[in-house]
């Protein structure tokens, strides 16, 4: 964007052909940069915002290409009012993250329609820099980082062009200057990255909606006709030794006890802290977790995790508290990457404690819905009435799991919707269609157990992991999100039962169902089986290294760095002192460079400066626009024959500037000139 962006051309101006005038070229270059900056936001912005932005940028490009007049102020105000109205209608506010980014994108596009002066271009530049920053609120992947670096480079190039008002400097030259200046500032950026204090995110990440595999703080039976498999990574686990076998990889997240006939939600029963920790038995597995933002308020941990109700666990910068049902809860949905260490005893025996309120809630069923399931559960209770409570629970569970294995039930990610024509969705699933995924089987199992008089509840989390380690990490994906059941017995407490294992054992053995391959995926598999898997593993390995070395660079890493630099027991004060010292040194270096750049570096200019200083000491005022010949004439006019030697040297200096055959050694001439000036001063002071 050149400084000559100023005024809009009058209507009906001549249409330019190639080559474009500088104003049009710089404007089109800036519009292309803005479009590139907005592209990654397209998936997060409302559809109307992307459409209006594209239309306005296209409109501005047409005006620049044809050198036509820009729209009037009233037109822009009308569009601005429309944008504010649409933003409020979409987000119910014009504040906050989502609404703010929407408004920022629209204001950027609107501002291009009033580029009448260089100051308008500067506003666009800095809106662009801020828009680059907002993209990292959605994604911090290496690809996004590379794309944003390119956008920043392009914006800096446009900024350089705006600072070069004369002539028609090439885009290549501006890009080279921008790259050079960026490299000069790179050490400062690295120092700030290493030493700037780490704070939690200013905004949390939005909660996903829609039918996708993953975790949630609630679960609705039959809400989705099908689910899309989300194969993104949820957690990376690095065990101190060999990891547990696949059937033991149950990561407990949320426990859902209340059921209204459609939706499972968490318990309302509150317990005081007590001695209800699991009895730790068998081998212990110690591991490090790197957990992506799961956007739920619980931390899924490998069962069984030590701790009684009310125990507290540091997870990254957060603190998780153990609830009575065994889940670990944080105050808000997790909106940042967490890294922490933990340990688990898969064979631990859970507590047998069960309060009256919790028992009542774990037996409760909504009246008037699913009558066939309730009747069948009651018949099972009568059938095993002679058994004690422990044996009754085990017998009913075996009977239900046997039915799932033998009575034609099927595991599928696309079972179709349940409960569209009747509220009795679980009746429809269990007795009629018998198709579903883990939530259907866990929900139906728990309702049947309760109908048979056995306390039961739904547990959600993750089950299983990728069969092969990736750079030493065990990978747990969002597609391995799972729901299972627990039932209670007086002698053994809460026992896990996974109905999915009865209908689809491969799901529990580390082979989750995959969607049918698409055209592109199928073509890659035909080219070389497993190629897509290998490419994905390579990318995820790169992303993991980026995560560990860059995104997960924490306060602890900063303190470790200070220790390696020789500081004993560093703290926040030490970090601030080192950062302040580096910034002070950087400022001093910058001031020194600026002072050096202000000095003339051309030999002729430096020599002129020294000559003028000598003449000033002789009392002769000199100006920048005067030549040595003029100074010589002024000296003779003022001091007569006494100044002829100095005047002759000044004439020689001017000759040196233009006649290479008369060039003498600079230092020799300067020494002689200084001696002549000193002699003249002595004569003048007598």
Active site residue 91: no
The string over 239-268, giving b where at least 16 C-beta atoms fall within 10 Å of a residue's C-beta and e elsewhere, is: beeebbeeebbbbbbbbbbbbebbebbbbe
Active site residue 498: yes
Beta strand 301-302 with 410-411 is unpaired
Of the listed 41, 440, 482, 639, which one is catalytic?
A: 482
Active site residue 44: no
The string over 564-592, giving b where at least 16 C-beta atoms fall within 10 Å of a residue's C-beta and e elsewhere, is: eeeeeebeeebbeebbeebeeeeeeeeee
Q: For residue 358, which of 225, 266, 495 has the smallest C-alpha distance?
A: 266
The string over 511-534, giving b where at least 16 C-beta atoms fall within 10 Å of a residue's C-beta and e elsewhere, is: ebeeeeeeeeeeebeeeeeeebee
Q: For residue 387, which of 502, 491, 494, 496 has the smallest C-alpha distance?
A: 491
User: CA torsion 121→126→129→130, rounded to 10°?
Assistant: -130
Tell me if 498 sits within 8 A of 450, measured CB to CB: no
Beta bridge partners of 477: 233
CA distance 290 to 315: 10
CA distance 652 to 666: 11
Beta bridge partners of 318: 315
Q: Which residue has the tokens 């005022």?
A: 621
CA distance 83 to 77: 10
Q: Which residue has the tokens 């809460």?
A: 494
CA distance 324 to 255: 10
Of the listed 26, 276, 498, 639, which one is catalytic?
A: 498
Q: Which residue has the tokens 């069923």?
A: 365
Q: How far is CA 119 from CA 62, 567, 580, 602, in A?
A: 22, 47, 33, 33
Angle between helices 519-527 and 531-546 (to 10 degrees): 100
The string over 467-476, giving b where at least 16 C-beta atoms fall within 10 Å of a residue's C-beta and e elsewhere, is: eeebeebbbb
CA distance 392 to 449: 10
Of the listed 49, 151, 438, 677, which one is catalytic?
A: 438
Enumerate the active-site residues. Answer: 438, 482, 498
């Amino acid at each position: 964007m050149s400084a000559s962006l100023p005024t809009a051309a009058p209507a009906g101006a001549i249409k330019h052909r190639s080559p474009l005038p500088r104003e049009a070229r710089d404007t089109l270059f800036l519009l292309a940069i803005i479009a590139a900056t907005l592209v990654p936001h397209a998936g997060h912005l409302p559809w109307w915002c992307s459409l209006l932005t594209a239309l306005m940028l296209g409109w501005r490009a047409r005006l620049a290409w044809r050198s036509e007049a820009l729209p009037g102020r009233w037109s822009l105000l009308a569009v601005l009012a429309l944008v504010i109205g649409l933003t409020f209608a979409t987000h119910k506010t014009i504040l906050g993250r989502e609404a703010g980014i929407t408004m920022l994108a629209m204001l950027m596009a609107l501002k291009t329609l009033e580029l009448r002066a260089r100051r308008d271009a500067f506003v666009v530049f800095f809106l662009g820099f801020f828009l680059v920053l907002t993209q990292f609120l959605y994604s911090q992947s290496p690809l996004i980082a590379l794309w944003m670096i390119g956008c920043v480079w392009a914006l800096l190039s446009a900024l350089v062009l705006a600072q070069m008002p004369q002539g028609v400097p090439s885009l290549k030259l501006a890009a080279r200057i921008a790259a050079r200046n960026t490299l000069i500032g790179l050490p400062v950026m690295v120092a700030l990255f290493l030493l700037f204090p780490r704070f939690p995110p200013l905004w949390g990440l939005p909660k996903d909606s829609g039918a996708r595999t993953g975790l949630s703080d609630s679960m609705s039976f039959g809400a989705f006709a099908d689910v899309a498999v989300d194969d993104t990574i949820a957690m990376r686990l690095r065990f101190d030794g060999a990891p547990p076998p696949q059937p033991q990889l149950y990561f407990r997240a949320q426990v859902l006890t209340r059921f209204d006939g459609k939706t499972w939600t968490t318990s309302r029963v509150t317990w005081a802290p007590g001695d209800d920790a699991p009895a730790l038995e068998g081998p212990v597995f110690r591991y490090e977790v790197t957990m992506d933002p799961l956007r739920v308020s619980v931390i899924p941990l490998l069962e069984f995790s030590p701790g009684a109700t009310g125990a507290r666990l540091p997870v990254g910068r957060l603190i998780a508290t153990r609830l009575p049902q065994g889940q670990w809860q944080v105050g808000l949905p997790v909106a940042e990457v967490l890294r922490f260490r933990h340990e688990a005893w898969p064979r631990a025996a859970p507590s047998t404690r069960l309060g009256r309120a919790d028992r009542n809630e774990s037996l409760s069923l909504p009246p008037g819905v699913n009558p066939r399931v309730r009747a069948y559960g009651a018949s099972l209770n009568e059938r095993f009435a002679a058994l004690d409570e422990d044996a009754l629970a085990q017998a009913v569970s075996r009977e239900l799991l046997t039915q799932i294995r033998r009575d034609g039930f099927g595991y599928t990610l696309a079972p179709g919707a349940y409960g569209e024509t009747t509220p009795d969705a679980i009746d429809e699933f269990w007795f009629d269609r018998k198709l579903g995924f883990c939530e259907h089987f866990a929900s139906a199992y728990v309702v049947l157990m309760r109908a048979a008089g056995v306390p039961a509840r739904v547990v959600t989390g993750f089950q299983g992991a990728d069969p092969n380690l990736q750079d030493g990490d065990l990978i747990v994906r969002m597609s391995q999100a799972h729901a299972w059941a627990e039932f209670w017995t007086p002698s053994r407490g809460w026992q896990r039962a996974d109905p999915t294992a009865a209908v689809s054992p491969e799901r529990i053995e580390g082979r989750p169902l995959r969607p049918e391959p698409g055209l592109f995926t199928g073509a890659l598999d035909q080219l070389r089986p497993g190629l897509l898997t290998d490419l994905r593993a390579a990318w995820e390995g790169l992303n993991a290294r980026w995560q560990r070395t860059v995104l997960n660079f924490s306060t602890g890493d900063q303190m470790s760095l200070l220790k390696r630099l020789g500081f004993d027991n560093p703290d926040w004060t030490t970090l601030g002192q080192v950062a302040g010292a580096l910034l002070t040194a950087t400022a001093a270096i910058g001031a020194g460079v600026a002072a050096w750049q202000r000095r003339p570096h051309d030999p002729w200019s430096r020599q002129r400066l020294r000559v003028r200083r000598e003449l000033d000491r002789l009392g002769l005022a000199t100006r920048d626009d005067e030549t040595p010949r003029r100074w010589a004439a002024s000296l003779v006019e003022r001091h007569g024959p006494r100044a002829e030697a100095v005047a002759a040297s000044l004439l020689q200096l001017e000759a040196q500037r233009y006649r290479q055959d008369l060039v003498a050694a600079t230092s020799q001439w300067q020494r002689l000139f200084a001696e002549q000036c000193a002699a003249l001063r002595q004569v003048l002071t007598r």
